[in-house]
Structure formats: C-alpha cells, structure tokens
Amino acid sequence: MRPDRAMWATGLALACAVLAGLVLNLLTGLTRLSWGIALAIGVTAAGAGLLVARRRARPEPAPPVRTDWFRVSPVTGGLLALAAVLAGGAVWLGAASASWPRAPGFAQLWLVPGHGTSATLGVRDSYPGRHTFQLVLSGGGKAVGRWTLTLADGQTWQRTVTTAAGGLSATLTTPDQELKVTS
C-alpha cells in the first residue's frame, strides 16, 4: 500500500464531507439521517464512477517491477512491533497521568435571581470523595435556612428560595474555606 493513495482518498473524503455539509445545510440540515443518506449516495456514486473508469481505461503495459518496496522480514516486523509497543506505552502513560488528581478540590456556591421574588440557591461539590458542607441562608440580618449537605464529587444540590426585602446572602463552609454569595 502506498501512503500517497491513502492520502488522496482520505483528503478527498474530508473535502467531500465539507462540501456536502454545505449542501445539506441548504436542503435538510446536518442530521444523522441526512449524513447517512449523503454517505450512501457518495459511496454508490464513487463505486459507480470507479467501475466506469475501469471499464473505459485502456489496457496499459505492466508496470515495471519495483525493487525498493518495503519487504517485511521477521526482523522488520519485530522492529515495527517494538515501535507499536513503545507508542502504545506512550499513549497509555499519557491517558493514565491525565487522570491523576492534581488539585485539592473545590466547591461552587451560587444564588441567582429568578422570576419575580424567587432565586436559585445551589451547591456543587468538586472535592474528591464525599464531604459534608454547612450552608446558611440569611435575610434581613437573621438566618432563614440552614442545611447540612453531604455530597459526592460532582454532585449538585439546588433549591428555589424566596428573596427578602433587604436581599439574601448565603454562606457555605467547605473543608478548607468559606464561600459567600448575595442577592
């Protein structure tokens, strides 16, 4: 197999996909169904074109025998297998190290005004493992709500609250700091 043939085939497939996408955008939009139909039409047209081209092609003299093609001997195969193992090891190490925990973690606290007098109070935990948080909602100088939240990494707690005349404030005590929001 010659790399330039694969290059032309792949490049043409990508270019046709881009140009087909422009056409689909005008016709139906770029949906799974429309891409499926476009692919079927493309494959059929390419196959038919190839058959016609082969039939029309004049018989050509046999190509000269190439003496410099890549012959895969056991040694060559072994070296290529070694290359594959090294590259595979590199990819594995990259993927494994990317998932190592790097930061101690954090929490998110928000109090976002909604419609009328309502607001959304939310907490999301991004500390590794499960943690317990103390959440206090205050309005008019006194606490109007207290929650003890035990959340896992990635878990969200959210509820709608009613805003007070003087505004609300919420304080979240996390394992290593205190977060504060106001409305």
Partner 1 sequence: MTYANKTAAAVAVLAAGVLAISAAYAVGRAGPGGSAHEAAVAGYWAGQALIFAAPAALVLGRERPAEAPAAWLAVALGLATYLVKYLYSPGGFQFSDEFLHLRTLASLQGTHHLFGVNDALPVSPGFPGIEIATSALTDLTGLAVFPAGLIVAGLAHLILTTALYTLFRQVGGDPRIGLAAVTVYATSPHFQVFDAIFGYQTLALAFFALALLALRAATRPDASRGRAGAAWTLAAVFAAATAVTHHVTSYILVGTTILIAAAALLAKDTRGSRRAYLGPACFAAGSAALVALWTGLVVPGTVSYLSPAVSQLSDGFRSALSGHMAQTGSTAPLPTPAADRIASIAVAALIMVVIPFGWRQVWRTQRGDPWALALAAGAVLYYPCVALPFVTADGSEIAGRLLTFVYIPVGYTLAAALVARPPAAALRLTGRRRVTAGLATAVLLAGGITQGWPPWWERLPGSYVVDGFESGVNAESLAAAGWAAATLPPGQRFAADYTNYILLGTLGGQNPVNGLTALFCGRSWTLADALIARKQAVRYLVVDLRTSQQRAPDGSLFAEANTCPSPIPRADLAKFDAVHGITRVYDSGNIVVYDLSEAAYAP
Give the Cα separation of 154 and 132 in Å (integer): 13
Residue 134 sits in the site that holds partner 1 (CB under 8 A): no
Q: Least distance (Å) from partner 1 to the CB of residue 70?
A: 5
According to DSSP, the residues that pair with 128 across neighbouring strands are none
Regarding beta strands 142-152 and 156-162, do their DSSP bridges make them parallel or antiparallel, or are they unpaired? unpaired
Contact 151, 157 (CB under 8 A): yes
> Out of 62, 65, 72, 165, which residue is the one contacting partner 1 (CB under 8 A)?
72
Q: Name the token pair of 49.
A: 């074109």
Give the Cα separation of 132 and 137 in Å (integer): 16
> Out of 37, 122, 144, 155, which residue is the one contacting partner 1 (CB under 8 A)?
122
Give the Cα separation of 11 and 19 in Å (integer): 12
Q: Least distance (Å) from partner 1 to the CB of residue 160?
A: 13
Pick the piece of the chain touching partner 1 (CB under 8 A) from 35-43, 134-142, 144-152. Answer: 35-43
> Out of 14, 48, 51, 143, which residue is the one contacting partner 1 (CB under 8 A)?
14
Q: What is the DSSP code (8-state) at residue 6?
A: H
Contact 153, 143 (CB under 8 A): no
Residue 76 sits in the site that holds partner 1 (CB under 8 A): yes
Contact 121, 159 (CB under 8 A): yes
> Out of 54, 55, 62, 69, which residue is the one contacting partner 1 (CB under 8 A)?
69
**Footprint of partner 1 on 141-180 (CB under 8 A):** 167, 172, 174, 177, 179-180
Residue 136 sits in the site that holds partner 1 (CB under 8 A): no
Q: Least distance (Å) from partner 1 to the CB of residue 142?
A: 19
Q: Least distance (Å) from partner 1 to the CB of residue 162?
A: 16
Pick the piece of the chain touching partner 1 (CB under 8 A) from 63-71, 131-139, 140-148. Answer: 63-71
**Footprint of partner 1 on 84-113 (CB under 8 A):** 84-87, 89-91, 93-100, 102-103, 106-113
Element holding 169 (H helix, E strand): strand 168-173
Phi, psi of 134 (to 5 degrees): -105, 125
